[in-house]
């Protein structure tokens, strides 16, 4: 009994230490990834939230951008611009790697090794993207949107806590 308990504790701690998020793109091997961030997209009336995740690959990295849609015809399309906190902008070209399921559309964009170095040094401030698709009276909202690295919609002036995600710190750990 005295030997079993320390072994159990050691196993439990090692499991927690090795737990890391992963990302797969269309059935590929899993890549180590950051947590899935919930960025705020105030102009998008359907949900107001965008899911953002970054993974590291052998050739750079991957940006996963997901948003809920009211129509299966709607999707994220075209290039995206990743705005960094220091004022730099990373332009990502649309390689047409997309998924749609369960009322969500997901697009994947690729980073070069040099762009991953930038992401390791500076937090993501926002991401600009386009939603296209069938637009009708009760359809999905389409157009140009910006999702911002904020953890909450509202806060008070007396709240001194950090109100954004530490993306650079998590990306540098990958």
- Predicted local distance difference test score (pLDDT) of residue 19: 47
- Predicted local distance difference test score (pLDDT) of residue 56: 94
Judged against a pLDDT cut of 90, whether residue 25 lies above it is answered with no
What's the CATH number where 52 sits?
2.60.40
Domain around 47: 23-173
Q: Tell me whether residue 4 is in a domain.
A: no
Q: Tell me whether residue 66 is in a domain.
A: yes
CA 25, 163, 89: angle at the middle one, nearest 5? 55
C-alpha–C-alpha distance, residues 31 and 97, integer Å: 16
Question: Could you tell me the pTM of the whole model?
Answer: 0.81
Q: Tell me whether residue 14 is in a domain.
A: no
Q: Tell me whether residue 48 is in a domain.
A: yes
Compute the mean pLDDT over every residue in the chain, rounded to the nearest whole number.
Answer: 84
Q: Tell me whether residue 5 is in a domain.
A: no
Q: Tell me whether residue 94 is in a domain.
A: yes
Judged against a pLDDT cut of 90, whether residue 70 lies above it is answered with no
- Predicted local distance difference test score (pLDDT) of residue 2: 56
Side-chain half-sphere CA neighbours of 147 within 13 A: 27
- Predicted local distance difference test score (pLDDT) of residue 52: 96
Is residue 136 within 8 Å of 89, Cβ to Cβ? no
Domain count, the chain: 1
Q: Tell me whether residue 15 is in a domain.
A: no
């Amino acid at each position: 009994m005295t030997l079993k308990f320390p072994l159990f504790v050691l196993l439990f701690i090692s499991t927690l230490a090795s737990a890391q998020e992963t990302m797969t793109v269309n059935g590929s091997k899993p890549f180590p990834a950051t947590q899935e961030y919930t960025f705020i997209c105030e102009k998008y009336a359907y949900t107001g939230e965008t899911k953002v995740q970054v993974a590291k690959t052998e050739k750079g990295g991957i940006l996963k951008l997901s948003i809920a849609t009211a129509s299966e015809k709607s999707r994220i399309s075209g290039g995206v611009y990743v705005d960094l906190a220091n004022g730099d902008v990373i332009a990502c070209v649309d390689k047409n790697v997309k998924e749609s399921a369960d009322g969500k559309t997901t697009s994947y964009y690729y980073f070069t090794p040099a762009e991953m170095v930038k992401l390791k040094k500076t937090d993501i401030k926002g991401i600009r993207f386009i939603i296209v698709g069938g637009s009708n009276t009760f359809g999905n909202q389409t157009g140009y949107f910006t999702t911002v690295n904020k953890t909450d919609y509202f806060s008070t002036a007396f709240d001194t806590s950090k109100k954004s995600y530490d993306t650079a710190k998590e990306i540098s750990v990958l």
